Amino acid sequence: MAEIVFILEPDARRCIIESSQADVKTAEELNKDLGQGSVVNCVRPKLEIEVKHHSQIFAAAQAEVSQNAQIYLYRIYHHSTVDGLGRRSVIQVAGCSIRCPGCYIPETYERKNGQLVSIAKIVDEIKKRSGEHDGITILGGEPFDQTSSLEVLVEKLKEQGFQLTIYTGFTLESLLARNSESVNRILAKTDLLIDGAFDRTLTKNAGEYRGSSNQRLIFYPMREAEKMNGEKQKRLILKRREKNLRRSFSNFSKFVLMKAGRRPYARKIVRSSRMELARTVTKAWLRNTVSFELE
């Protein structure tokens, strides 16, 4: 059965229906019952949204492109309720190295489909609409393909106190594996990271704000990274202890066997009272349950 999500916005007297998995008949019945609405895909708001205003932003940015930090921008749109918690203003960057099969927005693959825009101008545009949203979402394309620019953008947005969500096709683990101070600073300022490449075979029951079920909602990703690092350190310590224990077991077994009258290099296991004694004593010693002396 197709999954249909209803998003109610009483203050705006609006209902958004996410029905990308519904068949044609179900879609027609919804139109019949609720009336014809505007088509809004999960990451593809109406393309005509504020086109004129965006042209003004791009034009104004060109005058300062050499003086300020810049980022390849595909577009900015507002009032999204499907790209993070609450109502969002969304900054969509251009350029993607991951290029997931079945991506809804392949037009963001190439940076040339966007424009190099002053980050200051982007922040100014977001500030103008600050009373209309609950936070900012950055998505792509792939934001982490422009790490240096992304860091500046994130820093400027957080200076304004905005709640920040970032979508990335990379996993948190792969971002941390870069060992990049810039990436770590971005993650430290991110309130919600939605990670993982889009998988078109996992779209069913993907969950809120996700395109496919393999993607994760990670709140305060650097805190999660610290937990992951702590768990990794624990595993390394346990592995080291196990290795040392096995070495001790092997050495002590050889010692006990020699005292029991057998050679340590013997390969053939012989069931005998002395061999059983050696095994029992060794295991007991490892559990620290007995103490003994061998003459």
End-to-end CA distance of the chain: give it in Å, rounded. Answer: 76
Evaluate the CA torsion angle 18, 22, 28, 32 in order and state its sign: negative
Query: Can you give the pLDDT at residue 107?
Result: 96
Confidence of residue 188 (pLDDT cuts 50, 70, 90): very high
Share of the chain above pLDDT 90, in %: 50
- Using CA atoms, how far residue 257 sits from 34, 279, 288, in Å, is 84, 9, 19
Q: What is the pLDDT of residue 290?
A: 43
* Model confidence at 124: pLDDT above 90: yes
Q: What is the average per-residue pLDDT within 93-120?
A: 95
Q: Looking at residues 13-25, what average pLDDT do you find?
A: 68
Residue 38: pLDDT above 50? yes
Rounded mean pLDDT, 243-251: 67
Least confident of 14-28, 69-83, 164-178, 215-229: 14-28
Q: Which residues contact 95 (CB under 8 A, 6 or more apart)?
A: 72, 108, 109, 110, 111, 114, 140, 141, 142, 145, 146
**pLDDT confidence tier of residue 200, bands split at 50, 70 and 90:** very high
The total of other beta-carbon atoms located within 10 Å of residue 15's CB is: 12
Strands 5-9 and 14-18: antiparallel
Residue 250 has a pLDDT of 65
Confidence of residue 229 (pLDDT cuts 50, 70, 90): confident
- By C-alpha distance, which of 95, 56, 51 is closest to 72? 95
What's the helix, strand, coil split of the chain in %, to 5? 45, 15, 40
Residue 193 has pLDDT above 80, yes or no: yes
Examine the pLDDT at 48 and tell me if it is beyond 60. no
- Give me the chain's average pLDDT, please: 78
- For residue 12, the 8-state DSSP code is G
pLDDT at position 227, please?
A: 84
The C-alpha atoms of residue 116 and residue 19 are separated, in whole angstroms, by 34
In this prediction, residue 9 has a pLDDT band, given cuts at 50, 70 and 90, of low
pLDDT at 111 over 80: yes
